[in-house]
Amino acid sequence: MWTVEDGIRRLKDRGAKITAQRIAILKRLEGRTDHPSADRLFQEVKEEFPTLSIATIYSTTQILADAGLLKVLSIDEKRVYFDPGTHPHGHFLCTRCGRLLDVGLPEEMKLQVELEGAQVDRLEFFLYGVCPRCL
């Protein structure tokens, strides 16, 4: 897990401006184990910054993703979630309630994938089904 200070350092290293809104977004994401949606994160930060736009959420989270601080999970064309857990893991999406859960990866998938002439930068692993709460 990263801290707000880690986030600020990584943003500075990339030449990004450190704004009060970006710090507020970092604070809302620090230490989270859930996967807030863009709308949820927007509502949380908007409490502190009433003039905040949803575009600021998307642009800042993309900068944070580029800095390796979170993953942007595009479930479909309508739903985007943010995952501050950057360790290797997959996700399970409940098709009934929309709950998004972390899933450990099988050991075979943790092995480095080697492809001739290619470099693997990330692995995305999604499972879809019905969660225990909805069964």
71 labelled binding-site residue? no
d(CA 61, CA 65) in angstroms, rounded, equals: 6
97 labelled binding-site residue? yes
Are 105 and 88 a contacting pair, CB within 8 Å? yes
132 labelled binding-site residue? no
d(CA 53, CA 51) in angstroms, rounded, equals: 6
94 labelled binding-site residue? yes
Tokens of 77: 């064309």
Tokens of 123: 């692995």
Are 126 and 91 a contacting pair, CB within 8 Å? yes
d(CA 82, CA 70) in angstroms, rounded, equals: 7
d(CA 65, CA 70) in angstroms, rounded, equals: 5
Residues placed in the known binding site = 94, 97, 131, 134
Residues placed in the known binding site for Zn(2+) = 94, 97, 131, 134
